[in-house]
Amino acid sequence: MSTLNVTNIKAADGSSGLTIANSTGQVTLSPTVVNRNNSIVLRGFFLNSDVNTTTTSTTLTNWTEMNSAAKGFKPVGVANGVTQSSGVFSFGVTGVYRCSWTIHAQTISSDSRWIQADFRYTPNGGSGVQGDTYNYMQITSSAATYSSFMREKYFNIAHTGDTVECRINAENTIKIRGSTDQIGGDTWIFFEKVAEAV
C-alpha cells in the first residue's frame, strides 16, 4: 500500500478544494466542493401587520425580511438569495429549498369550520399550482380564541424565475396576526437551501 503525502488538493486555477491538517489528518472541504457556487441560503421573513381573511384564497403580501442578530436572526449566505415583492418570493440561487411557514391566527366573531393555508408554487414561465390543506378554529368561552399552525414543504427551484407565495382563506373571517418587529413571534416564514436543484 502506498501513501500520498499532501496537505492541499486544489484545482489547477488555484481554487482550494480540500485541506488535510498536518497533525490530526482531519479533512476540511471548501464550501464550493459540497455546495456549488458557495450558495448557502437561509432567509426569514415576518408578517408585519394583521390580515383579515376572506373566503377567497389570497396571497399574504405584507412581509419584512428578518435582519437583526440582536433580535435572534440575520440572513445567512448569498446576498438576496431569497427576496419578496408583494408577497411573491423569488430565488436568486437555484436549489432544493425547505420552506417553513408558521401562522398565528385569531378568531374574530365566529367559528371557522375550515381555514385553507397553502403554498402556491409557480415554475419559471409556467402556471401556479397550490395545495389543499385545512385547519379549523372554534371560539372558546365566547371570547377571541388563538391558535397557530404550520406548513412545511420542499420545492425544487430549478430556475431563478420560480416563485412561491403564501395564500390563505377561511369559511368565516379570522385574523392572521402580524407584528411590527421580527421578535414579535406571530407569523413568519423561513427558506433554507438544503441541496442542489435536480
pLDDT in the model for residue 59? 98
pLDDT in the model for residue 33? 46
- Model confidence pTM above 0.95: no
Provide the residue-wise pLDDT of the chain in tens; the chain has 198 residues.
Answer: 677 777 777 767 766 666 777 667 676 655 444 445 457 899 999 999 999 999 999 999 999 999 999 898 999 998 889 999 999 999 999 999 999 999 999 998 899 999 999 999 999 989 999 988 999 999 888 788 999 999 999 999 999 999 999 999 999 999 999 999 888 769 999 999 999 999
pLDDT in the model for residue 6? 72
- Provide DSSP, 151-175: EEEEEEE-STT-EEEEEEEESS-EE
Phi, psi for 172 (deg, rounded to 5) = -125, 160
Domains annotated on the chain, with CATH: 1-34 (no CATH), 39-195 (2.60.120.40)
Asked if 155 and 96 count as a contact pair (C-beta separation under 8 A), the reply is yes
Asked if 96 and 154 count as a contact pair (C-beta separation under 8 A), the reply is yes
pLDDT in the model for residue 182? 86
Distance CA 197, CA 55 (A): 35
